A = this chain, B = another copy of it.
Amino acid sequence: MNESDFNAAALDEIIHGKLRLGIMAYLSAVEQASFTELKQKTDASDGNLSVHMRKLEEAGYVSVEKRFAGRRPLTTLKLTAAGRKAWIAYLDELRRLTGG
């Protein structure tokens, strides 16, 4: 055990935010998800989910596709390769910290 084994600084702040953690966890479990589906799964409001979806997109962790399904706009999210890598690194770091 090193001197500074409980330094949590390495936990990715982008993922550590609670709503973003929920989004990342869900997207890591499914191939892709619609905005509406993610809203239900995370119990988030439209506004809040939009904000944090954008943060994840800006970090390059999530790709967002907007199109129309008939007349209805459909927003689809999925993890990018970088997002999946960051997710795994986050889980590893969390396990290291919590001794799990």
The chain A residues found within 8 Å of chain B, CB to CB, are 3-9, 11, 13, 16, 18-19, 21-23, 25-26, 28-29, 40-44, 91, 94-95, 97-100
Contact = CB atoms under 8 A, between A and B. Distances in A.
Main secondary structure of the interface of A (DSSP, over half): helix
A23 to B, nearest CB: 7
15 contacts: A4-B42, A6-B22, A6-B25, A6-B26, A7-B22, A7-B41, A7-B44, A8-B19, A8-B42, A9-B18, A9-B43, A21-B97, A25-B99, A94-B94, A100-B100
Contacts of A91: 98, 100
Count of chain copies: 2
Contacts of A42: 4, 6-8
